Amino acid sequence: MVRAVFLDRDGVLNRSLLRRGLPHPPDTVEELEILDGVKEALERLRAAGYLLIVVTNQPDLARGTQSLERLEAIHACLSETLTLDEIRVCPHDDADGCRCRKPLPGLLTEAAAQHGIDLAASWMVGDRWRDIDAGHAAGCQTILIDYGYPERAPSRAPDYVCRSLVEAADWILTG
């Protein structure tokens, strides 16, 4: 049985940039700040046998406000610094109607099909309602890293609420 921890990127691995109270991704590698304890939390999850797969919406590509080159540079930096198995990106905006944009589960279900992942034995960790809804839609257990963003709640409550990936890893590993 292959188990995975699916991880949103911004707000889970790296600091989100707040604008008008809402989170936004870093635009460049220079703006990328990996959150405290993330590297160690990922190493603990990996040691417990979990695949670590980033699933991230990056609609700024579709909107033309982010370049593919800058996004790839950010992901190269994350891959070089952290023990990640894969980074999966949805480059679409809501209007595109794709299956991979969270809250739809396409990024998770495609990874599960490719890697033979048991979704019921896996986790989705995110900081927004879209992450939690995608995790539930895929059949995963879910953890919300709650920053108190002024936005809607997930359609269904997460299985656990915490303040950091360190706390999320503790919950997964002791649960």
Query: The tokens of 113 are what?
Result: 């099909």
What single-letter DSSP state applies at residue 162?
E
Query: The tokens of 61 are what?
Result: 């590509």
Say what the pLDDT of residue 1 is: 85
Report how far apart, in Å, the C-alpha atoms of 119 and of each of 2, 53, 68 are: 9, 12, 30
The Cα–Cα gap between 90 and 106 comes to 9
Would you say 155 and 133 are in contact if contact means Cβ atoms under 8 Å apart?
Answer: yes
Contact residues for 173 (Cβ-Cβ < 8 A; gap 6+): 44, 45, 48
Q: Is 60 marked active-site? A: no
Name the CATH superfamily, with its identifier, for domain 3-174.
Answer: HAD superfamily/HAD-like (3.40.50.1000)
**Alpha helices, DSSP H, located in 32-152:** 38-47, 60-63, 68-81, 106-115, 129-138
Q: Is 8 marked active-site? A: yes
Q: Closest by alpha carbon to 52, among 114, 19, 7?
A: 7
Say what the pLDDT of residue 107 is: 98
Say what the pLDDT of residue 121 is: 98
Instruction: Going from the first residue of the chain to its last (175 residues), give the mean pLDDT of each consecutive group of 10, the final group possibly shorter.
Output: 96 94 91 98 98 94 87 96 96 89 97 98 98 98 96 96 98 93
| Complete DSSP assignment for 42-54 | HHHHHHTTEEEEE
Residue 53: strand pairing partners: 6, 86
Say what the pLDDT of residue 93 is: 87
Q: Closest by alpha carbon to 46, among 108, 3, 75?
A: 3
Q: Of 10, 127, 131, 133, which is the active-site residue?
A: 10
The Cα–Cα gap between 171 and 157 comes to 16
What single-letter DSSP state applies at residue 34?
B
